[in-house]
Amino acid sequence: MAQILKVAMPKGRIYNKAAELFRMAGLPIPPDGEASRKLVIELPEAGMEFILAKPVDVPTYVEYGVADIGIVGKDVLLEENRDVYELLDLGIARCRMSIIGLPDWQPGIQQRVATKYPNVASRYFREQGQQVEVVKLNGSIELAPLIGLADRIVDMVETGQTLRDNGLIEMTSIFEITSRLVANRVSYRMKNVEIQLLCDRLQAVIGQPQVHTGS
């Protein structure tokens, strides 16, 4: 008998794009939840349960096995470093992680970088052999160089509109970001038939080869 597949879906900007993919793949998807505050949506007739999560928490739910699979940005995967299988690049919510600063930025003796991604930023500057102080912020990161909290920021760029509107420039792009389908390691074995079927259907609409790596 088919087992219920628990899917952690990120609320916010990925949701509608992921929902569109699911619909195109003929997979069930709950409505976007604007009319309701319900966080666990069961679709027993489809053998699925959806957990509507804060994006940054999706890898945690999947690692702990309270969700079998989840959808999450590569940025969050690299920052959180959770023990999950990365199954598929969904190709949605495409943007890039970049180093950003004011046009007249000069390397000083004490450099400070603000970011929502302290692990990603620390790793990058360590690999570059640059000593910087990393300050964690939770949003509106572009404020930091404008008001003198930091010299530079590490943040996402999609259209570049936020940078332009604030007189900032993109100095270096560190990596490309898209949303990924991830799976719990045990679920991947125990619910392999269900997960494989879902992957095959998604793959048919995104036309990407399947990947299978730990993280």
Ligand X SMILES: Nc1ncnc2c1ncn2[C@@H]1O[C@H](COP(=O)(O)OP(=O)(O)OP(=O)(O)O)[C@@H](O)[C@H]1O
Binding site for ligand X (CB under 6 A): 10, 12-14, 54-56, 73, 75-76, 93, 95, 156, 158, 177
Q: Are 205 and 77 in contact (CB under 8 A)?
A: no
Size of site (CB under 6 A) for ligand PRP:
12
Residue 160 binds which entry of ligand X, ligand PRP, none, CB below 5-8 Å type-dependent: ligand PRP
Interface residue with ligand PRP among 31, 107, 139, 207 (CB under 6 A) is 139
Instruction: Extract the tokens encoding 17.
Output: 């794009």
Q: Assess 88 for contact with ligand PRP (CB under 6 A).
A: no
Q: Assess 156 for contact with ligand PRP (CB under 6 A).
A: yes
Q: Closer CB to ligand PRP, residue 110 or residue 161?
A: 161
Query: Helix 192-206 and helix 13-24: axis angle, to 10°?
Result: 90
Interface residue with ligand PRP among 79, 80, 86, 155 (CB under 6 A) is 155
Q: Assess 158 for contact with ligand PRP (CB under 6 A).
A: yes
Instruction: Extract the tokens encoding 176.
Output: 């490309």
Residue 93 binds which entry of ligand X, ligand PRP, none, CB below 5-8 Å type-dependent: ligand X
- Contact window for ligand PRP (CB under 6 A) among 39-47, 104-112, 123-131, 155-163: 155-163
- Contact window for ligand PRP (CB under 6 A) among 55-63, 72-80, 117-125, 136-144: 136-144
CB atoms within 10 A of CB 3: 13
Q: Closer CB to ligand PRP, residue 12 or residue 204?
A: 12
Which single residue is written with the structure tokens 């409505």? Answer: 31
Q: Assess 159 for contact with ligand PRP (CB under 6 A).
A: yes
CB atoms within 10 A of CB 59: 26
**Amino acid found at 41:** I
Instruction: Extract the tokens encoding 210.
Output: 């399947």
Q: Which is it for strands 152-157 and 95-101: parallel, antiparallel or unpaired? A: antiparallel
97 Rama sector, left if φ>0, alpha if ψ -120 to 50, beta otherwise: beta
Give 185: exposed, middle or buried? Use CB within 10 Å, 0-12, 13-18, 19+: middle
Applying CB under 6 A, the residues found at the interface with ligand PRP are 139-142, 155-162
